[in-house]
Amino acid sequence: MRDELFSRCFVVLSFAAAFLLLSAQWRTASSSRPTATPIVTAAFQASLPPASALPSPPPEPPIASATRPRFGRLVRSGLRFNRVRLMVDLSDREVYVYRGDQLQTSYPISVGKAGWETPTGEYRVLQLRQYPVWRHPLTKEVVPPGPKNPLGSRWIGFWTDGEYQIGFHGTNEPDKIGQAISHGCIRMYNDDIEALFTQVRIGAIVTVQP
């Protein structure tokens, strides 16, 4: 009986010793295991310069009304655009807004004066800008956005020869809407150009007829 009890005690002690040994090895391995760190994130963040060191975006170039417009330049583009199209009638001094074949609305305009006629033809909207800067086509004076800016609050460009541009824009002389007074551009009341600005997209067709 004593031998049997001794044997059982030996087995229990052996199991306990083995368990304690395995537990000690596991703790040692766990303490030496490196902790996970966000290396990729930290490296990415460290590679970025501080915000104060980032270069400022270049200012947009001034928009210029055109000198004597050149006729016959049809601006073609593969850009997709919505179905809104604009039809300018120079004789009626109106721009008509169509969605498909349905007339949506129209706005009174001013057009190019003698010697600076607005070019006729079919074009596409090339630029959409809010509060544009203007450069006088002759004196090269640059006028920032504000009450003295003859472009008003919006610009929708559709013609360029690479240096000068023609488009729809607002005005700081609303009493002259309806006249042939501009350097080729199409002037509109500021409220009207802001409404038109929300309806067109880059690539929209602009047809100018006599």
Residue tagged active-site, from 9, 136, 169, 183: 169
Residue tagged active-site, from 9, 136, 183, 185: 185
State residue 121 phi and psi, 5-degree precision.
135, -170
9 is catalytic: no
Question: Which residues carry out catalysis?
Answer: 169, 185
